[in-house]
Chains A and B, each alone.
Chain A
Amino acid sequence: MFNFMENEEQQKMIDEATEIMERYVFPNEKYMIPHRGLPAEILKPLQQIVKEKGIWAAHLPKEFGGMGNGFVSLGLLSEVIGQSPIGPYVFGSMAPDAGNGEILYHAATTEQKEKYLRPLANGDIRSCFGMTEPEVSGSDPRTLQGTAVMDGSEWVINAHKWFTTGAVGSAFCIAMVVTDPEAEPHCRTSLFIVETDNPGFEIVREVPVLGDHYPGGHCEVRFNECRISQENMLGKRGEGFKLAQLRLGPGRITHAMRWLGVARRSLNVMLHYSLNKKDGEKRLADSQTIQNFIADSEAEIQASRLLTLQAAWKMDQGFQARKEISIIKFYGAQVLNNVIDRAIQTLGTYGLTQNTPLEGLYREARAARIYDGADEVHRMVVAKQVLREFQKREVPHEPAAISK
């Protein structure tokens, strides 16, 4: 059975979220501070509105104040709130807190959940995730070098990380470090919850970067003889890689749907401009070149949207959907960049001013082709999977023509 319609509940959620976006989110974007987001006095009341509407933290189950939705619903909401860089903050589902929340929900002990997940889920604190290291390839987390060693009843972490997004202002960091160097590559690392006021946790600097939409920056951090108690291990020893994957799968659905929100918004800017501005005697909208931009963008957005919702649906049915997730990761990220680029091209230099959201979206969007696995890695995953599927089938080899 194929059904491409939102159900009643999903439609209600979309309508309510859309109303909040239009009434409260877009008008407040102008108060956004680069690398810091909205000031708390503006953000907090907006979050309260979302909570009262019951569409807060869609990625989390109801017991932690979330919506307890499936992946399709999560994706549909992400598309709406992703249109604005501040949307996910207002709706309590921003990266990296959303992913951290999911790991905590699945792997944390009851005490850890009460201490860390509950305030995180409520938006009272923020968190960060320390995995990527400057010295080794982020495309291959099996090569991580940071370590944690047992010393009495404590773990001692020594590690150098960067792209620890949101570290400034975070209450805790989930650190992924090697605890079992002799084990199989996938079982070498473990996760730890490190409170950021630990004297061994140092924010070296906020790395200057192309995009500026993430509050708390993309930081370089060091764990210097950082001592933490045994109770702060998250999940089981050696499960670091497995748990990190856990946050990436659903994360890619929300990323891909947020990108579609951004792409749709950029296309809307392009449509509005091309209907209202003239290129010589003609409206831009009457130019075939601009119409090509519009048609290509619409086709790419629709394709990426269906791919993403299909991946989400498969996950809701209990499939891993690894191939589908990888397809939307590299295809969706490219669509995002293509559509914003066409929108800027349509507006000309005006598209690079701060009079439209396009230039900020363009800078931020470039990271999508890198984080959570670069294009090249996901293409490889897809190709290998397609080859495997092909090999599993018996394909009769028939000549293309009858030779005489």
Chain B
Amino acid sequence: MKEVLMESELSILKNTVKSFVIENVIPAEQSQKGYVKEMSEIEVTSIQQKAKEAGLNALGAKKDWGGAGLPLYARTIIYEEAAQHRLGFYHPAVDGFGAELPSLLENCSPRQIAEYVIPAVSQGKGCFIALWEEHEDNQIDNLTCHAVSNGDEWIINGHKSYIQKMDQSGFGIILVNCKKENDTQKPTIFILELNDSFEKKDTVLIDVQKNYNITFNDFRIKDNRRIGKVGEGANLMKEWLAESQILLSARCLGISIKALDYAQAYAKMRITRGKTLSEFPSIRTMIANGFVNLNAARLMVHDAANKIDNGKKDGIIAAQMAKLFATETAAKIIDDCLQIHGGAGFAGDLPIERWYKEIRLARLDLLKKETIIENIARSIKL
């Protein structure tokens, strides 16, 4: 009975989010003039307020922190809906639900929770993650940014790249290798404050995503900013990675649905050589295949979310498999959708052009195919 209730609750939640996107997000997006690349802060604040009223904020954050405490599975359903608009792939509901916080923050001390986590939740802000480095974007174990112990503080040197959504964050976390006397490197997580003295430089990836590189030159950080034990950082980050992979995959489902909607509508309308595009087997195959893969991707995403929610050991690898399949599926659907639209797909009047860039990024973001394939091979002891 419990499961049935659960499903009906999820169904209500799904419809609530769908209505919210249709009634608030899409009109706000369409009210922007010209080629929409981002939403104004005023619009985002207004949407955040409405989302709060609808109970749609800080979805994954623990209830103790002021969040909704929803499990990952429920969030996959929410984000599949919330991604279904132009900016929705990397800014679901134009960030109106506030940013997702990594569950590894549960390892924070009560003082850290009070000082960083709770204020961020109440302001709808997130936590930026300084993990990847410029060239070693897939190897958590090979990071070069390091910290040396100095009394009750650590001295950090090195750089971090490709940090997303720094502007929307209340604070951040960084993974560095702590060097102890015996020279073993122990990956460890520390909290960063926005006004900490690191060099910050913004860049734009593939003409669509603003992100940051930060550099540390003998940056001193108190040991009381550490999260978890020294040496525990890599494993904690892997949990964050799995959660993020699942949420990214859920958003892939959302934009895939929208892209297929666009593809179908255009194929039925556009006439070439006396027939609608939808009558040509090449086009029918593109769209029908899209539906097959979308369904398979959704099953994988839900499976991975359930495994993580239930603490299953294979959750981490299931999340990677879901991420691989969902991003590849969305990439193919968006590519086909663009092809069906021809020049109109290459133009930014429709969101397909934006998604084409974002999905190329998503294929590399949070582990790329080659790394995941190797991890799967290892997981089956190959």
- Which residues of A approach B to under 8 Å, CB–CB? 132, 134, 136-140, 143, 162-163, 207-212, 218, 277, 279-280, 289, 344-345, 348-354, 359-360, 362-363, 366-367, 369-371, 374-376, 379
Contact = CB atoms under 8 A, between A and B. Distances in A.
Contacts of A363: 206-207, 357
B360 interface: yes
18 contacts: A138-B343, A139-B273, A162-B347, A207-B349, A208-B35, A218-B343, A345-B364, A345-B369, A348-B138, A351-B364, A352-B360, A353-B203, A363-B207, A370-B339, A370-B346, A371-B343, A376-B283, A379-B282
A382 B142 CA distance: 50
Contacts of A362: 206, 360
B343 A352 contact: no
Given A139-B272, A348-B368, A350-B137, A162 B343 contact: yes
A219 to B, nearest CB: 11
Q: Name the residue in A162, A352, A359, A379 with the highest tally of chain B Cβ atoms < 10 Å from its Cβ.
A: A352
Nearest to A360: B207
B139 interface: yes
Contact of A137 (B137, B272, B348, B356): B272
Nearest to A142: B273
Contacts of B347: 162, 207-210, 218
B342 A137 contact: yes
A277 B138 CA distance: 13
Contacts of B363: 345
B364 to A, nearest CB: 5
B134 interface: yes
Nearest to B347: A207
A209 B280 contact: no
Q: Name the residue in B34, B162, B272, B345 with the highest tally of chain A Cβ atoms < 10 Å from its Cβ.
A: B272
B356 A352 contact: no
Interface residues of B, number: 44
Given A162-B347, A352-B360, A370-B343, 4 more contacts: A207-B347, A210-B347, A348-B137, A366-B338
B370 A289 contact: yes
A367 B134 contact: no
Contacts of B343: 132, 138, 162-163, 218, 370-371
Given A349-B364, A352-B206, A374-B342, A209 B137 contact: no
Interface string B179-207: 00000000000000000000000011111
A210 B353 contact: yes
A208 B161 CA distance: 29
Contact of A210 (B135, B271, B348): B348
A252 B161 CA distance: 41
B134 to A, nearest CB: 6
Contacts of A279: 138-139
A203 to B, nearest CB: 15
Contacts of A360: 207
Given A349-B365, A352-B364, A363-B206, A369 B348 contact: no
Contact of A140 (B206, B272, B339, B344): B272
A354 B272 contact: no
Contacts of B13: none
A138 B273 CA distance: 11
Contacts of B207: 212, 359-360, 363
Contact of B339 (A212, A359, A375): A375
Contacts of B241: none
B312 to A, nearest CB: 28
B113 interface: no
| Across the A-B interface, the 8 shortest Cβ-Cβ residue pairs | A208-B348, A137-B272, A208-B35, A348-B137, A352-B206, A352-B205, A359-B206, A349-B137
B357 A134 contact: no
B268 to A, nearest CB: 14
Interface string B51-82: 00000000000000000000000000000000
Contacts of B135: 277, 348, 350
A374 B344 contact: no
Contacts of A209: 346-348, 353
A330 to B, nearest CB: 11
Contacts of A348: 135, 137-138, 364, 368
B212 interface: no
Contacts of A369: 339
A338 to B, nearest CB: 12
Contacts of A349: 132, 137, 161-162, 205, 361, 364-365
Contacts of B348: 207-210
Q: Name the residue in B273, B339, B342, B345 with the highest tally of chain A Cβ atoms < 10 Å from its Cβ.
A: B342
Given A138-B342, A208-B349, A209-B353, A344 B139 contact: no
B346 A366 contact: yes
A332 to B, nearest CB: 16
B6 to A, nearest CB: 38
Nearest to A276: B135
Contacts of A280: 139, 142
A211 B345 CA distance: 12
B360 A344 contact: yes
B246 to A, nearest CB: 20
A189 B360 CA distance: 41
Contact of B344 (A134, A367, A371): A134
B35 to A, nearest CB: 4
B222 interface: no
B270 interface: yes
A345 B370 contact: yes
Contacts of B271: 136-137, 143
B272 A353 contact: no
